Chain A
Amino acid sequence: MNKLMGTLTLAAFGSLTLSAQRVGTLTPQEKKNQDTAITEMKDILQYGHLELADKVMAPGYIQHNPNVPTGRDAFKGFFARFAKPEPIKDEWKRKPALILTSGNIVFFLIENEGKDPADPSKTYKYNWFDMLRVDDGIIQEHWDTAKKNSPPPAGQKKQ
């Protein structure tokens, strides 16, 4: 019994250290959903591999960002202008501050730095979110904080 408890504690501790920014206990399905979401957020958007969209995104991908058209093909068309494919690495180029996965929802907290409007020589930090819905192993829907024609936050989905 003690041995079992020790193993469980070690397992819990191990998974905490391995994925510090990922929170809570994930079911196997949540882990899969999270990995699928990371393919979009990291491999497609950060490493520029738009061809992976056909693998992980639904043709009818619903887009709530008011500056990006809805649908998988429209997504690819929109980001083709910016994508510069590079070899995909395990590490993020810009690591989310937090990843929360609950059922079919994967939430990313992104920390941004902006110019202080009161003093452009200074910077300050603000936050952004991306959220994906993954059903049947495929990303179906996306939300973020974007407003229409507002200047995109530094480094987020713009080059």
Chain B
Amino acid sequence: MRFSNVKLFAGVVVLLAMTCMPLAAQSKSMTPQEQKNLKMALDWWREGFIAGHAEVVDKYLAADMIQHNPNMENGNSRVKDLLKNRTPITPIPAAIPPDRMPAMAFAKGDYVVLIWEREGKDPSDPSKTYKYNDFDLFRVENGKFKEHWDGAVKNPPRGGGKE
């Protein structure tokens, strides 16, 4: 590697570290592989869900992904269909907008955890809102997300409003 490439590489690493820092208070206790796994989850969130690009699904989600959300079937095709119904944002934003950042994010071993803070209508007083939390959990296998969990319940009679 030539010197200029080394400098460029170092710069990219510092930039990555800086981007990750505010949202991943845990990053200092993560291994380089765990950092990579966390970055993959945030890239998927940004390119897939925020920018709505269905064509990135195969890059991140295994075709035979095990899905623990009771309203989704296994595999990644349903996610593709959901994203195809949206108008993609082009170009894909380079960073996650601050209001769509997870409240906390970390990776351990093959797992990545994203914690979300959401706002719902207070069921006892609809003029008021309150905050609650939700999560996404991924397991990485062969460089893709092979398994996914979240807090969804079946045909939810949800108390609070979900975005």
Instruction: Using CB atoms and an 8 Å cutoff, list the residues of chain A in contact with chain B.
Output: 23-24, 27, 30, 64, 66, 98, 100-105, 107, 109, 114, 116-118, 124-129, 131, 143-150, 153
Contact = CB atoms under 8 A, between A and B. Distances in A.
B160 interface: yes
A100 B37 CA distance: 15
A150 B113 contact: no
A98 B109 CA distance: 12
Interface string B90-126: 0000000000000010111111010100001011100
A147 B132 contact: yes
5 contacts: A23-B109, A105-B26, A126-B70, A126-B153, A145-B151
A150 B115 contact: no
A114 B151 CA distance: 13
A144 B151 CA distance: 10
A126 B137 CA distance: 13
A103 B133 contact: no
Contacts, number: 105
B159 interface: yes
Given A102-B26, A128-B151, A148 B123 contact: yes
A148 B159 contact: yes
B124 A149 contact: yes
A100 B155 CA distance: 29
Given A23-B109, A147-B160, 18 more contacts: A64-B131, A66-B131, A66-B132, A102-B30, A102-B34, A105-B104, A109-B137, A116-B154, A117-B155, A125-B70, A126-B68, A126-B154, A127-B68, A129-B135, A131-B135, A143-B115, A147-B120, A148-B120
B32 interface: no
